[in-house]
Amino acid sequence: MKITKTDGPPKDVLYFNEEYKDDELDLSPQDVEDVAEIFKTPLTGSYNWDYTVADNRIKKLYELGKELNWNGSIDLDWDYNHPKDEPLTGIEGVTLPHEELDAWKNLTDEEKIEFDRHETAEVLSQFLHGEQGALLVASQIVSCAPTFNAKMYAASQTFDEARHVEVFNRYLQEKVGFHYPINPNLKALLDKILTDERWDLKFIGMQIIIEGLALAAFTNMKLSANDTLLKTLLHYVIRDEARHVTFGINYLEDFVQTLSPQEIEERAQFAYEACVISRDRLINTKAMSKYLKMTDEEVRDFQLSNGAMDQFRSFLFSRVMPNLKKIGLLTDSVRPKYEALGILEYEHAPSDFEIDWAEITKPLESSDQVKAESDEMLSEILKAQEAANS
């Protein structure tokens, strides 16, 4: 085994098969190696000698984590191959902002398909990298969380995150053919969470911010996915992530109440900073830059100045803001900052604190059931948008 240690993540697209391979990166079997970046953390671990179960909600979530385990190798139809001449994502009748650009209109049909593959891969690669971060954080929480319940649940979540890394990685390697490097803002947020010694900040950063945004982003891609395998894969991951976010809110609500006002303010500021970084992490530039002949800065300016894309990024926080409010981290000092970001309006959205046991205990759905449910949800969203615009 060859392990190469680096000071940072790769910067190039990594290709895995001949179909999409070009001269940007030429790999042979002899070049394959494990690339590791070392990080150090002053992690403070804790034993727990009280094995009593103090919170039946957390215990029930742990039990569900065991019951609802799915196998990424056999529960997904890896034999399915999406038609090569059809886009992986897209909603009929909905024009995306970049499709109004002359540069996109001038692409050939083949180039538009290539752009779709690369743009989808760039987003899915961030999902993959984020899930690896979640895997590392969950494993840290097993060591440093102070209560028995939290340790047990974090252990089950660690396996969930490993499964998510597995399926996103396999889809990108086998069905798309390449990975994109990690978004620098996502990397900065993961570094911030992984290297902080306070266990509850890891909870806040991962369970509330990253996983809350992931739930919204995964759902959005599931609704727009044309690839049956991708749609089902995302649906199964969403089921797990919903439990993770619910666990974080239920656990943190009680814990935050035990902190001093100064400690609460420190955590509120940490959550705000994490949201700022996460908002920038939602701006991906590489695929658009390559196919639409724009610099990374031009792509960034385009996305920031486009009202529809900015509204979409802000909307993703509809899964985060009510949860921050529920656990007591929307303090008077940070509320104006969230308002300046344009996301404070979502504080009144439904919180993930209330557990819909019937929903999260459903048996694993088939691909046909997932598609039917997604189509119905998408239809309701489009009708609501049409009514709002009329």
- In the chain, how many domains are there? 1
Residue 379 lies in a domain: no
C-alpha span between 75 and 77 (Å, rounded): 7
Residue 383 lies in a domain: no
C-alpha span between 79 and 232 (Å, rounded): 13
Residue 347 maps to which CATH number?
1.10.620.20
Q: How confident is the model at residue 66 (pLDDT cuts 50, 70, 90)?
A: confident
What is the per-residue pLDDT for 25? 46
> 292: Cβ–Cβ under 8 A, 6 or more apart, which residues?
98, 101, 103, 104, 115, 299
Residue 97 lies in a domain: yes
Residue 341 lies in a domain: yes
Residue 384 lies in a domain: no
Mode of pairing for the β-strands spanning 178-179 and 14-15: antiparallel
Q: Which domain holds residue 310?
A: 3-365
What is the per-residue pLDDT for 33? 64
Is it the case that residue 319 has pLDDT exceeding 90? no
Residue 390 lies in a domain: no
C-alpha span between 193 and 191 (Å, rounded): 6
Q: What are the CA-CA distances from residue 318 to residues 200, 214, 275, 323 (Å)?
A: 22, 11, 12, 9
pLDDT per position as a tens digit, 219-257: 999 999 999 999 999 999 999 998 999 888 988 988 999
pLDDT per position as a tens digit, 47-59: 888 877 667 788 8
Phi and psi at 5, nearest 5°, equal -95, 135
| Secondary structure (3-state) at 14 | strand
pLDDT per position as a tens digit, 138-190: 999 999 988 888 899 999 999 999 999 999 999 999 999 999 999 998 999 99
C-alpha span between 157 and 134 (Å, rounded): 9
Q: Which two tokens stand for residue 107?
A: 């692409």
Residue 373 lies in a domain: no
CB 329 within 8 A of CB 295: no
Residue 204 lies in a domain: yes
